[in-house]
Every structure is written in structure tokens, then in C-alpha cells.
Amino acid sequence: MNGPDAAPATQFAPLWRRLAAGLYDLLPLAAVVMVGTALLFPFTRGGIEAGTAWYQAWLVLLAFAYYGYSWRRGGATIGMRAWRLRVHSADGGELPWGTVALRFVIALLSVAALGAGLLAALFDARRRMWHDRAADTIVVVIAKRR
């Protein structure tokens, strides 16, 4: 079906665009971490020793809150919105919390593996990274509004 009513073809997000969105997301994530750390000050008397295991876990929880909430509600983080990207399940639906959690954990492993899990998008027809494959999600480019 061609014409004005034809649905646009799905454009899978290229690696460069996804990395740009990821870099952009470091700004709001930094704000979340700063506020989350400030909330601890009354309980820690203003000091947290570097490398403390519970604090590292707190930071991971804050990151999960940012990414998880964003992916679950609207399918995009602030960086993804800026770069017109959206994540959804392979069947086009919203992501349930279990999928969001799996995607987040595998994304951490992807980065920890020196970015190998991110570069996997270069070798996948749908440009999926490890966390996309594990959670059965895809990231697409949102068409510009006319």
C-alpha cells in the first residue's frame, strides 16, 4: 500500500544515534544521582566513604529508577526523546517491569564488557544490542512530525 495513508517503514535506530542518546542521558542521570545522594545526607551525617557497597547499590538503584521509569512510561529516556528514539517490545507493545529489569541488567553487562554488547548492534539486522536481544526489544527512530 503506497500513498498518504501508508504506514511508514520501521527504521531501526543506528548505533551512532543510540550512543548519542546515551551520552545525553548522562546529564539527567547525574541530576538523579546528586539528588539521591543528597537524600542520604541526614542519615550519613554528610559523609559517605568511597567504594561503600551499599552506596554503590544505591547508585545502581537510582539508575534503574531513571531508566526503568523512562522505558516503562513512554518508551524513552530524556536522551532518547531528544534523538527521537523509542524502545518497545518486538511485538510493538509497552515493556513490562520484568522486561525493563532484564534490559537494564544486561545493559550494565554490555557496558562492563568494554562496550561489546553495544557494538553488537553493528552485526544485527534490527540493530539490537545485547540488552535488546535478551529482553526481545527494539529501538526505533520516531518519524518527524510534519
Instruction: Kindly state the DSSP code that residue 117 receives in the 8-state scheme.
Output: H
Q: Which residues, listed in sequence order, are joined to residue 89 by a DSSP beta bridge?
A: 137
Measured CA to CA, the distance from residue 116 to residue 120 in angstroms comes to 6
Q: How far is CA 140 from the centre of its chain?
A: 13
State mean pLDDT over 75-92. Answer: 95
CA-closest candidate to residue 25, choices 76, 95, 73, 101: 76
Measured CA to CA, the distance from residue 119 to residue 122 in angstroms comes to 6
Give the per-residue pLDDT at 144: 85
User: Which class for 72: exposed (0-12), middle (13-18), buried (19 or more C-beta within 10 A)?
Assistant: middle
104-122 pLDDT, tens digit each: 999 999 999 999 999 999 9
Give the per-residue pLDDT at 5: 44
Give 2 or 144, the one with higher predicted confidence: 144
pTM tops 0.75: yes
Rounded percentage of the chain residues whose pLDDT exceeds 70: 93
Residue type, 108: L
Position 57 pLDDT exceeds 50: yes
C-alpha cell, 11: 527504521
74: left (phi over 0), alpha (psi -120 to 50) or beta: left
Q: Where does the pLDDT of residue 9 fall: very low under 50, low under 70, confident under 90, or very high at 90 and above?
A: low
11-55 pLDDT, tens digit each: 999 999 999 999 999 999 999 999 999 999 888 886 888 789 999
Measured CA to CA, the distance from residue 111 to residue 73 in angstroms comes to 24
Give the per-residue pLDDT at 26: 98
Rounded percentage of the chain residues whose pLDDT exceeds 90: 80
Measured CA to CA, the distance from residue 115 to residue 129 in angstroms comes to 10
